[in-house]
Amino acid sequence: MHPALLTRPPEDLGHMARHMMQIMDRLLKSGFSPGARAPDWTPAVDITELADRYEITVELAGVRREDIEVSTENRQLIVSGCRADPSPHPKVRVYQMEIEQGRFRRRLLLPDDADAESISARCRDGLLRIQIQKHGK
């Protein structure tokens, strides 16, 4: 084992495990195909149901509104876009970068009673909030 790994605090081991899971997730999403390009990261989501609608909150801190796309396809809600990779000044030494950068995509299967034609979305304070009305509500 590399000596530096022995001196790192336990929280770094958790970060390393998350990073390894992200790499495996990318491989699985690309189907292990060298030509396929999987998203660089997958945003976290919260999903809630109310009597008349579903609400989905997507964590997209640092993503510009114009870099986000919300669409539907085959009963799936698709949130995709890109978080720009910050280019540090050439004389700046970077010690740690944990914030995911690059392309992202999140696909969610819509429930049968979700009305794919009545989707609204707004982005504020790094959170994309999506509302999907239920049929007949």
* Structural contact between residues 101 and 81, judged by C-beta atoms closer than 8 angstroms: no
Asked if residue 115 lies in contact with residue 40, where contact means CB atoms within 8 angstroms, the answer is: no
Backbone region of residue 50 per phi and psi (left: phi > 0; alpha: psi in -120 to 50; beta: other values): beta
Lookup result for tokens 């992200």: 22
Name the burial class of residue 116, with classes exposed (0-12), middle (13-18) and buried (19+) by CB atoms within 10 angstroms of its CB.
middle
Across all residues in the chain, what is the average pLDDT?
82
Model confidence at 128, pLDDT cuts 50, 70, 90, reads very high
For residue range 109-127, list pLDDT tens digits in order.
Answer: 999 999 999 999 999 999 9
Query: Which alpha helices (H) appear in the chain, and where do they start and end?
Result: 3-7, 10-30
- Residue at 30: amino acid letter: S
Global pTM reads 0.71
Domain ranges, ordered by start, for the chain: 1-36, 39-134
Per-residue pLDDT at 83: 92
Q: What's the Cα-to-Cα distance from 67 to each of 22, 31, 43, 86, 135, rounded to whole Å?
A: 22, 26, 14, 15, 30
CATH assignment, 39-134: 2.60.40.790
Q: Using one digit for the tens of pLDDT, what is the confidence trace for 4-44? A: 444 445 556 666 777 677 667 666 655 555 555 566 888 99
